[in-house]
Amino acid sequence: MSEAIKASLRYSESHFLVMNKKIKRLSDLLEKGYGKKVWKVQADPLSVLLETILSQNTSDNNSHKAFSHLRSKFKNWDEVRKAKVKKIADTIRLGGLASIKALRIKNILVQIYEENHNLNLSFLKRWRTNKVRSWLQRFKGVGDKTIACVLLFSLKRPAMPVDTHVLRVSKRLGLVPQKSDATKAEAILERLVPKNLIYQFHLNLIAHGRMVCKAANPNCPDCVLLENCDYGKKFCSRVLRHRRNARQE
Contact by Cβ (8 Å): 155, 45: yes
Kindly name the residue from 145, 179, 233, 234 that is annotated as catalytic. 145
Contact by Cβ (8 Å): 225, 205: no
> What's the rounded Cα separation, in Å, for the pair 242 and 239?
5
Q: Which amino acid is at 12?
A: S
> What's the rounded Cα separation, in Å, for the pair 5 and 31?
30
Q: Which amino acid is at 202?
A: H
Residue 145 among the catalytic residues: yes
What lies within 8 Å, CB to CB, of 180 at 6+ separation is 167, 170, 171, 188
Catalytic sites, residue numbers: 145
